[in-house]
Amino acid sequence: MSTVKLTVSALAVIAASATAAAARDQIQVSGSSTVLPYSTIVAELFGENMDFPVPVVESGGTGGGLQKFCEGVGPNTIDIANASRPIRDAERDTCTANGVTDIMEIRIGYDGIVFANAASGPDFAYTPADWFNALSAKVVRDGQVVDNTAANWSDVNPDLPRQEILAFIPGTKHGTREVFEEKVILAGCEESGAMEAFTASGMDEDAAEEACTTLRTDGRAVDIDGDYTETLARIQSSPGGIGVFGLSFYENNTDKLKVGTIGGVTPSTETIASGEYPVSRPLFFYVKKAHIGEIQGLQEFVEFFVADEIAGPDGPLAEYGLVSDPDLAATQEAVAAGTTLQ
């Protein structure tokens, strides 16, 4: 008998759940793990200062977040996608195909990418060319394209400390990897003249770029597919290693890490904002305009996020390591006007 009763009540629960599912009180956010900490900080402040529930923030990577974002419109889809790179055309097409047409793009600021070694290690002052010559699979020696055999940083540049080359770089699924390749390796490739040598050896431009960004596979460049905590753990277990981190992660772990300069510039929110420090990228989030007015608090949340008190240079986000956007006022205007991507 009791089994029958339980089964009936179980069915009742399922039935009740199906009917009660329509409304949703919280804003749903998903996407880039780089934007995640900023998003949670704002969500928390939003919840304690406004009469709305705290938005639910998920991390799933920029690609994963935008994929969920483009699934469609309605309370069962997310409202905001965090992204550490602009949305791609292919993603826009998926969005359009699924009826997600009016998308607001909001740039919240910039994120610096820094190179750091264990705090006990020596000081490093790199140039992008050093990184290219240390990690690229093919380098140019005396005008000849040869396999990279550099073992120590001092082989690459006599000014660098005599330490074995061992770099922990973000894996290919990270948005950070793209920036690293473009702003460090590729820049170093051009700076060192290797690009010219590659094209001179008969490659076309694409092939030369490909050759530039192909990294050596002899174990000196280690892909980290996890997050920065994994990179930090690897550096702590092999103190000779150098890791690629986000500026905010480094700023929270300055007791364990020592940051290297690029072209003589020490990374900080100031040097990144002024553009002196070369390796940085904009951070975004994308909002479904169709959800504004449907999901309560969404417009308020977006306005709150880009307010001067929050995303400005003295706000909590800058304190955490976000390089605030000098054009924040323009973003605020766009949010107020509800400007969408064309």
Partner 1 sequence: MTDNPDRKPASLLRQDARTRARNAAERRFRWYGIGAIAISMIALVVLLATILTDGAGAFRQTYLNIPVTLDAAVLDPKGNRDPAEMAKVLTLTYGKVLDKAVGDAVAREAIQVEGLTEKDIKGLVSREASAQVRNRVLAEPELVGQTVAFDVLTGGRIDGYFKGRVTMESAERDSNTSPRQLQLAQALADRGMIVTRFNWNFLRLADASDQRPEAAGVGAAIVGSFYMMLVVLVLAVPIGIAASIYLEEFAPKNRCTDIIEVNISNLAAVPSIVFGILGLAAFINFAGLPQSAPIVGGLVLTLMTLPRIIIPTRAALKAVPPSIRDAALGVGASKMQSVFHHVLPLATPGILTGMILGLAQALGETAPLLLIGMVAFIRDIPSGLPSGLFDPASALPVQVYNWTQRSDPAFIERASGAIIVLLVFLLCMNVLAIWLRRKFERRW
Cβ(154)–Cβ(162) below 8 Å: yes
Residue 337's Cβ-count burial label (10 Å; 0-12, 13-18, 19+) is: exposed
d(CA 113, CA 220): 20
Given 35, 78, 244, 279, the residue binding partner 1 (CB under 8 A): 78
- Does residue number 309 form part of the binding site for partner 1 (CB under 8 A)? yes
Question: In this chain, which stretch among 74-82, 134-142, 168-176, 325-333 interacts with partner 1, using CB under 8 A?
Answer: 74-82
Q: Does 223 bind partner 1 (CB under 8 A)?
A: no
Q: Does 49 bind partner 1 (CB under 8 A)?
A: yes
Long-range contacts of 153-157, Cβ-Cβ distance < 8 Å, separation of 24 or more: 153/124, 156/130, 157/126, 157/127, 157/129, 157/130, 157/133
- Copy the structure tokens of residue 30: 């998903």
Burial status of residue 217 (CB atoms within 10 A of its CB: 0-12, 13-18, 19 or more): exposed
Q: In a 3-state reduction of DSSP, which class is residue 46?
A: helix
Q: Are 228 and 37 in contact (CB under 8 A)?
A: no
For residue 300, state whether it binds partner 1 (rule: CB under 8 A): no
Interaction between residue 337 and partner 1 (CB under 8 A): no
- Of 26, 67, 332, 339, the one binding partner 1 (CB under 8 A) is 26
306 three-state secondary structure:
coil
The footprint of partner 1 on residues 79-108 (CB under 8 A) is: none
Taking the CB of residue 3, how many other CB atoms lie within 10 A of it?
7
Place of tokens 């990228």: 281
Q: Is 15 in the site for partner 1 (CB under 8 A)?
A: no
Q: Smallest gap, in angstroms, from Cβ of residue 334 to partner 1?
A: 23
Q: Which stretch binds partner 1 (CB under 8 A): 124-132, 150-158, 170-178, 308-316?
A: 308-316
How many residues lie near partner 1 (CB under 8 A)?
55
Q: Does 149 bind partner 1 (CB under 8 A)?
A: no
Residue 320 lies near partner 1 (rule: CB under 8 A): yes
Give yes or no for residue 33 binding partner 1 (CB under 8 A).
Answer: yes
Q: What binding mask, one character per residue, do residues 117-136 give for partner 1 by CB under 8 A, x or -?
A: --x-----------------
C-beta of 181 vs 251, nearer to partner 1: 251
Give the N- to C-terminal CA distance of the chain in Å, as an integer.
63
- Asked if 280 interacts with partner 1 (CB under 8 A), we say no
* Least CB distance to partner 1 at residue 249 (A): 4
* Strand residues in 202-338 grouped as ranges (E): 221-224, 242-246, 257-259, 261-262, 280-288, 323-324
Residues contributing to the site for partner 1 (CB under 8 A):
3, 6-7, 9-10, 13, 16-18, 20-22, 24, 26, 28, 30, 33, 36-37, 39-41, 43-45, 47-49, 51, 53-54, 56-59, 75-76, 78, 119, 227-229, 248-249, 251-256, 309, 315-316, 319-320
